[in-house]
Chain A
Amino acid sequence: GEDVEQSLFLSVREGDSSVINCTYTDSSSTYLYWYKQEPGAGLQLLTYIFSNMDMKQDQRLTVLLNKKDKHLSLRIADTQTGDSAIYFCAEWNTGNQFYFGTGTSLTVIP
């Protein structure tokens, strides 16, 4: 399968910005996604970006895509304790397959 890499852990202080990074290898990715998993629950879609876009903003969330470097990032502004969760990036390609990263566990320190 395709490789999608993320750092395993990130800690930030409440009110600061969080940046979660992701790298992928599949150049045919069409959509790239960010999913959030709260403890004991399944994954829920946070946001997504089409591969021909560089940036997408949705309230406190900013997604940046560098297609040349195959690098995706999720910035959460004014991080709150409720943002503590595991964040997964995922790519979808024309083979109708989703490939998920290893997940980044975000801890927000009050």
Chain B
Amino acid sequence: DAEITQSPRHKITETGRQVTLACHQTWNHNNMFWYRQDLGHGLRLIHYSYGVHDTNKGEVSDGYSVSRSNTEDLPLTLESAASSQTSVYFCASNEGSGELFFGEGSRLTVL
């Protein structure tokens, strides 16, 4: 069965370190998204991609970057982790207006 997987599921890091969260989907979807989930804010879009070599900023992109070198993967990098980036991160993918499929989430704690 097709799926979308994130790793690591849990990560603790220190302020100032670089962190990369991996996202891999086997749906062959063109569209991939990264969201962060915080209480009271719901899901907020960080970055998204509509295809290989395409990347776009979402509403909370500062401090984050992504790259899309193939269809399956959209890694999210925190260049210099800050405590405000402690959150649960979700990767999702879809095709057109179709159902968004979500990964299980990556819980990041920045100390």
Contact = CB atoms under 8 A, between A and B. Distances in A.
Interface in A62-110: 88, 90, 92, 96-98, 100-103
Lowest 6 A-B CB distances belong to which pairs? A42-B102, A102-B42, A100-B43, A43-B102, A45-B99, A1-B59
A101 B33 CA distance: 16
Contacts of A103: 42-43
A36 to B, nearest CB: 11
A27 interface: no
Interface string B44-82: 110000100000000100000000000000000000000
Interface centre among B96, B102, B103, B104 (most CB of A within 10 A): B102
Interface of A: 1, 4, 6, 8, 30-31, 33, 35, 40-45, 48, 88, 90, 92, 96-98, 100-103
B42 A88 contact: yes
User: Chain B, interface size: which category?
Assistant: 20 to 34
B97 interface: yes
Given A6-B42, A96-B96, A98-B100, 9 more contacts: A30-B97, A43-B43, A43-B90, A48-B99, A96-B31, A98-B45, A100-B35, A102-B40, A102-B41
Q: Which of A4, A8, A30, A45 has the most CB atoms of chain B within a 10 A radius of its CB?
A: A45
A101 to B, nearest CB: 5
